[in-house]
Amino acid sequence: MSITIHHGHLYSFFFYFLLLQPQQFFVAAGTIPAVIVFGDSSVDTGNNNGIQTLLKSNFEPYGRDFDGGRPTGRFSNGRVPVDFFSEYFGLKKTVPAYLDPSFSMEDFVTGVNFASAGTGYDNTTSQVLNVIPLWKEVDYYKEYQVKLREFVGAEKANEIISKGVYLVSMGTNDFLENYYLLPTTRACYTIQEFEDKLIGIAKQFVEEIYSLGARKISLAGVPPMGCLPLERTINFMATLECNEDYNNVAREFNAKMHDLVKLLNKQLPGIHVVFSNPYNSLLQIIKRPSLFGMDVTYRACCGTGLVEMGYLCVLDNPWACLDANKYVFWDSFHPTEKTNQIMAQHLFKTVLHRFL
């Protein structure tokens, strides 16, 4: 195999280089007591199963490569990034969903997930598919704190709350399910104003969980939204090409999120916020899948790969691909487990390890 490294591809080279040494991958034990998750389908591990929404994934073919081939409500064929982060911090290999009745406080001591597929920073986003709004995720977190103090005692609970790592990932739905779908939102805001509104909500959210005791917080950026298979399929400007307008918005939003991270670190004593940006690494995988042992990038594994997500994946189950590891995307909106793992390793090595 020969690899030509062009001047402009230095980043790609380092990213590839990092992936060449999986055996040296560092798993830490003991320093992080728990991971606590807020966000959307990029990190939901099953909270939507029990709520009245059409946006679910607790049926086949979802989860077919998960432990036991079990659908869990994760929007992938296997684990999602927060599951890998939990493992890399030396904790469990999966993060239990707070609303899943098969888990109890005993399971939530080392990790708990409040994320809900389809949600976003803006309240309106959660209304589109009737999922859990961010303020309600925070309400559940407050309830969790009370139960945690009862379960492990105040001292241990405070340690879990202040030394736990908070993984926050959302924003894509605010743009794709809200701003670009609802004329009412577009009538109120320019895209820059809307980005600023979301950043303002993210700031308030961090201030709130900080006031509740959170100190180690990862804010995720948004992916190259224009390259999601669904957005390529419906890109009327150039069918099956990435929608560059959406990618530009993603980069602009991520830059503002990065600035917010710097601001929060200056303003709030004792806080440690990091910016976990999936944009460049996901784009790299999409543009050069062969470097990562994959070959299908513009369409997903489930169904025809062009439009299916959620219940549509069941209907088109017979057409699902045979080997999801060859695909960057599992459904038209969400990465495969393989992509999730590559991105999680990269983000852990470059950013999240700083919490250790």
Pick between residue 125 and residue 277 the one whose CB is nearest to ligand NAG: 125
Q: Cβ of residue 124: shortest distance to ligand NAG, in angstroms?
A: 9
Q: Which among 57, 331, 332, 346 is annotated as catalytic?
A: 331
Assess whether 2 carries a catalytic annotation.
no
Pick between residue 102 and residue 192 the one whose CB is nearest to ligand NAG: 192
Rg (CA), the chain: 19
Q: Cβ of residue 136: shortest distance to ligand NAG, in angstroms?
A: 8
- Write out the binding residues for ligand NAG, residues 88-127 only, by CB under 6 A: 123
Pick between residue 32 and residue 199 the one whose CB is nearest to ligand NAG: 199
Assess whether 331 carries a catalytic annotation.
yes
Sign of CA dihedral 316, 66, 41, 101: positive
Nearest residue to ligand NAG on Cβ basis: 123
Q: Cβ of residue 335: shortest distance to ligand NAG, in angstroms?
A: 29
Q: Cβ of residue 208: shortest distance to ligand NAG, in angstroms?
A: 11
3-state DSSP of the chain: CCCCCCHHHHHHHHHHHHHCCHHHCCCCCCCCCCEEEEECCCCCCCHHHHCCCCCCCCCCCCCCCCCCCCCCCCCCCCCCHHHHHHHHCCCCCCCCECCCCCCCHHHHCCEEECCCCCCCCCHHHHHHCCCCCHHHHHHHHHHHHHHHHHHHCHHHHHHHHHHCEEEEECCHHHHHHHHCCCHHHHHHCCHHHHHHHHHHHHHHHHHHHHHCCCCEEEEECCCCHHHCHHHHHCCCCCCCCCCHHHHHHHHHHHHHHHHHHHHHHHHCCCCEEEEECCHHHHHHHHHCHHHHCCCECCCCCCCCCCCCCCHHHHHCHHHCCCCHHHECEEECCEECHHHHHHHHHHHHHHCHHHHC
Cα distance between residue 239 and residue 187, in whole Å: 27
Assess whether 107 carries a catalytic annotation.
no
Q: Cβ of residue 125: shortest distance to ligand NAG, in angstroms?
A: 11
- Write out the binding residues for ligand NAG, residues 165-224 only, by CB under 6 A: 201
Pick between residue 25 and residue 135 the one whose CB is nearest to ligand NAG: 135
Pick between residue 18 and residue 182 the one whose CB is nearest to ligand NAG: 182
Q: How big is the site for ligand NAG, counted in residues (CB under 6 A)?
A: 3
One of 25, 135, 311, 319 touching ligand NAG (CB under 6 A): 135
Residue 138 binds to ligand NAG (criterion: CB under 6 A):
no
Pick between residue 115 and residue 282 the one whose CB is nearest to ligand NAG: 115
Q: Which among 42, 44, 57, 334 is annotated as catalytic?
A: 334
Q: Which among 41, 57, 218, 276 is annotated as catalytic?
A: 41
Cα distance between residue 345 and residue 218, in whole Å: 15
Q: Cβ of residue 123: shortest distance to ligand NAG, in angstroms?
A: 4
Per-residue x/- track, 294-313, ligand NAG (CB under 6 A): --------------------
Name the site residues for ligand NAG (rule: CB under 6 A). 123, 135, 201
Q: What positions carry a catalytic annotation?
A: 41, 331, 334
